[in-house]
Each structure stands twice: as structure tokens, then as C-alpha cells.
């Protein structure tokens, strides 16, 4: 089992990220993408919104956003936050090593890509990397992310 933040609510099992992939119709229609359950919406299609909502909610926790990007011709981009050891995404807390290992395994056997820190604001990142900002979706995407975050424990603060 992967280490998690003490007191974190455990789900039955962390699922491969590919379980939450959008259909072609959902990819092309923000309304259809938005209508999916929270875990699916914030795992695929709006992970960047959840990551930046986490950072806005917990600015002193020592987390930073990271971008898993596929090599051209491959699927599998994902945004999550990490403090360098623990990562957080729509499925909750997990070790960063575990998250990366599971992400690669979900797209195996031939997936290629990399991981880099995101050092710009969400709107700038989204514009440069073809990701949706909250205004792309029906009204309330940001508030939905803030509400979704409340089901998970806050990370320890690092003042």
C-alpha cells in the first residue's frame, strides 16, 4: 500500500487513470465532460483546475503543481500537486513515486513522456498546453473543485 497523509480517507482502491478517460464526445463538448461524476471530471479533463484549487486552498502546505506530459502521438497528460514526497490528485493522496508508477503502468507498455514543474499561473499554463480553464466549462467549475477538495483532509501546513 502507498503511504498517504495521516488521517486521509482511504478509497477502496486507487483506479488506473485510464478508467476516467473522456469519450471523444466528452472531449469535444465541455458540457458533457462537466456532467461526469466529480472523480472522473477531476481525473481527466479538469485535473488542472483541481490542482490549482488545491494550491489556492492550501498555499502554505509546500505543494507545487506538476505536469505529466506525453510524447507527441501519445495520450496521458495529467496535472497533480506534490510536496516532493506526497502527491494529490482527484483520487486523493499517494506517494509521488506511486502516482508516477501507476500513471505509466496505466498507459503501458509503450507510453513515453515526462514530468515537469508548472511555474506559471493556471491560465498561462492552460493556454500554452491546450488545457481548459474553469471558464471553458459551464459555470461553477472552480467552486466544484473547492467543494470536491473538502472530502479530503488538509495537508500539514509548512509555515
Instruction: Starting at the earlier edge strand, list the strands of the sheet with 113-117.
Output: 92-95, 86-89, 78-82, 64-70, 113-117
Report the half-sphere exposure of 4 (CA within 13 A, side-chain side): 19
The string of pLDDT tens digits covering residues 19-31 is: 999 999 999 999 9
Q: pLDDT of 95-136, one tens digit each?
A: 999 999 999 999 888 888 999 999 999 999 999 998 999 989
Q: Taking a C-beta distance cutoff of 8 angstroms, is the pair 11, 38 a contact?
A: no
Q: Which has the minimum average pLDDT: 54-63, 67-76, 137-146?
A: 67-76
Closest C-alpha among 37, 31, 130, 33 to residue 79: 130
Mean pLDDT of the chain, nearest integer: 90
pTM of the model: 0.89
Shortest CA distance to 110 belongs to which of 68, 79, 70? 70
Most confident of 7-11, 20-24, 72-76: 20-24
Per-domain residue ranges of the chain = 23-149
Amino acid at each position: 500500500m502507498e503511504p498517504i497523509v495521516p488521517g486521509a480517507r482511504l478509497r477502496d482502491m486507487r483506479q488506473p487513470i485510464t478508467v476516467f478517460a473522456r469519450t471523444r464526445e466528452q472531449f469535444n463538448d465541455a458540457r458533457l465532460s462537466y456532467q461526469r461524476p466529480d472523480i472522473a471530471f477531476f481525473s481527466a479533463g479538469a485535473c488542472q483546475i483541481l490542482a490549482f484549487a488545491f494550491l489556492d486552498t492550501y498555499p502554505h502546505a509546500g505543494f507545487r503543481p506538476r505536469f505529466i506530459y506525453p510524447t507527441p502521438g501519445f495520450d496521458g497528460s495529467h496535472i497533480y500537486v506534490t510536496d516532493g514526497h506526497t502527491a494529490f490528485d482527484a483520487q486523493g493522496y499517494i506517494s509521488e513515486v506511486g502516482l508516477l508508477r501507476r500513471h505509466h503502468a496505466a498507459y503501458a507498455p509503450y507510453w513515453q513522456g515526462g514530468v515537469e514543474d508548472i511555474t506559471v499561473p493556471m491560465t498561462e499554463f492552460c493556454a500554452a498546453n491546450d488545457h481548459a480553464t474553469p471558464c471553458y466549462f459551464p459555470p461553477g467549475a472552480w467552486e466544484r473543485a473547492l467543494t470536491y477538495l473538502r472530502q479530503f483532509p488538509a495537508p500539514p501546513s509548512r509555515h
